[in-house]
Amino acid sequence: MATAARVLGGLGFIFSAITDILVLSIFLGYLAMITYPLSILLRGVAWILLSGSLKKRFYAAVGILVMFLGILFFLSLLSGGDLLDAGPSELFIPVVIWATYSLIEFSAYLRLRIYSKVFLGAMVSIVGIAMLLLGVTLPGSNDEMYFYLQAGLVPLIISALMASMGFFTLRIREDEGIVM
């Protein structure tokens, strides 16, 4: 179970970084419709498996919320029409849903940092979360909003890669639920 959590978490966050890179490229953003759901599924299952390995229910809650809110975010984007023409009012609800589960994952990084210092680097996600929230809440043009959204993706890519490395480097002894 511990090995599966490490591999699924590592791969899930790699797909998260790929998703952010695709969205940042704009023209390849449609491919994120494939990588994003895969990322959410892998990460959610990894958090749940990690919960079993560490015997801490907190991580199961993280996994369930990431999957539920991730699906809700995805569906809200699909129902929103043309994303390239969307303004702050169309993106506000999806971004708040995304920010909610991203803050939940941030709190999991905070807890896992004692087991793998690599998760400290993943905490840069807070900068990206703040920038995306600013993008949909500050008054201004769509161009200004997209500036915040695109700039916020850079720390999110770094965070996803660090979280991936954090998962791959976790050492868990199955018999005691201890990360080594």
Query: Distance (Å, rounded) from C-alpha 8 to C-alpha 12?
Result: 6
| Maximum Cα interatomic distance, the chain, rounded to a whole number of Å | 56
Residue 12 · residue 42 · CB < 8 Å: yes
What is the reported pLDDT for 112?
A: 92
From the first residue on, what is the mean pLDDT of each consecutive set of 10 residues in the chain (180 residues)? 90 98 88 96 97 92 98 89 69 93 96 90 97 90 88 97 96 57
Please list, in sequence order, all residues whose beta carbon lies within 8 angstroms of the beta carbon of residue 38, skipping any fewer than 6 positions away. 12, 15
What is the reported pLDDT for 38?
A: 98
Please list, in sequence order, all residues whose beta carbon lies within 8 angstroms of the beta carbon of residue 56, skipping any fewer than 6 positions away. none
Paired tokens of 43: 């990460």
What is the reported pLDDT for 175?
A: 55
Paired tokens of 42: 């892998």
Q: What are phi and psi of 94, to 5 degrees?
A: -60, -40
What is the reported pLDDT for 125?
A: 97
